Structure formats: structure tokens, C-alpha cells
Amino acid sequence: MPRQDFFTDSRPDDTRSKVSNLKMYRGDTMSFKLYLKVDDCPVDVTNGTFWFTVKPNITTNDDEAIIIKTTGDGITILNPTLGQLLVTLSPGDTNTLYLPETTTFYWDLQYQDINGIVQTVFIGRLTIMQDVTRAIGP
């Protein structure tokens, strides 16, 4: 299973986010770890909430997103005091997508802290490549 690690130094008053481009095959499981840091110090995300959203276009409405993951549903906070989390995409998230060719989507990860401050901490593109096998398992 592919695993990718990324880092961010975004601050609550900083509009710049870490850009990370991802690739996967349709119908695969993909997990990647993310670490939130400010000035090389971990961000404590205790009691925080995360949203991971994938859309065909940046301007697509949220209710038309192809993938939405949230804390406890695809996003696991591995170590809250060290700002470590794991995002997992399962086969069901992509295996029914109609992809006549390799397609690139847009994604972001938003974080809301315990004070209600929301910030986009990661953004990027997700390229989903066609697969050959349409069944899972032997």
C-alpha cells in the first residue's frame, strides 16, 4: 500500500498551505501520513477536526465532491500532541468512478482547532490512473 509523508509550516494567520500532489490507481487503498508543524514545532491537534475533500474542479460544490473524509471516517489522528494524522482512501472511494483516461482531481485538507479557527493546511492534485482488474481479491 503506498504511503506518502508530508510536512506543513502553515500558521493560523498564514494563507500559504503545503502543496502535495498524489497519484493512485482507481480502486486501490492509499494511506498517507501528514504532520502539522509551525516553525518546526508540532501543532497539538487534540480535539481538532479534519476534512479531506476531493473534487473534479476547485469550484465544484462540496455536495458534488467525489471523496470526503473526516476525523474518525477515513482520517485518524495518530498522535494529537505531535500533530500526526493518517488519511486513508479505501477501494470503494474510487472503484466506481468512470475514468475513460487518467484523470486529475483537486484536494485539500482543512483543520478546525478547539477554538473554532479553520484553516486549509494542505492542498494539491490527486491523479487517479485507470486500473486493469475490476474485481477485488482472487
Query: What's the pLDDT at 64?
Result: 95
Global pTM reads 0.83
pLDDT digits (tens, 9 = 90+) for 38-56: 877 888 999 999 999 999 9
Query: What's the pLDDT at 17?
Result: 55
- Cα distance between residue 11 and residue 53, in whole Å: 21
Residue 132 has pLDDT above 70, yes or no: yes
Mean pLDDT in residue range 89-95: 94
Mean pLDDT in residue range 97-123: 92
Q: How far is CA 54 from CA 13, 17, 46, 114, 127, in A?
A: 24, 16, 25, 24, 11
Higher pLDDT, 12 or 120: 120
**93 three-state secondary structure:** helix
DSSP 16-34: --EE--EEEETT--EEEEE
Mean pLDDT in residue range 111-124: 91
- Cα distance between residue 137 and residue 112, in whole Å: 38
Residue 1 has pLDDT above 70, yes or no: no
The rounded mean pLDDT for the chain is 85
User: What confidence tier does 24 reach under pLDDT thresholds 50, 70, 90?
Assistant: very high
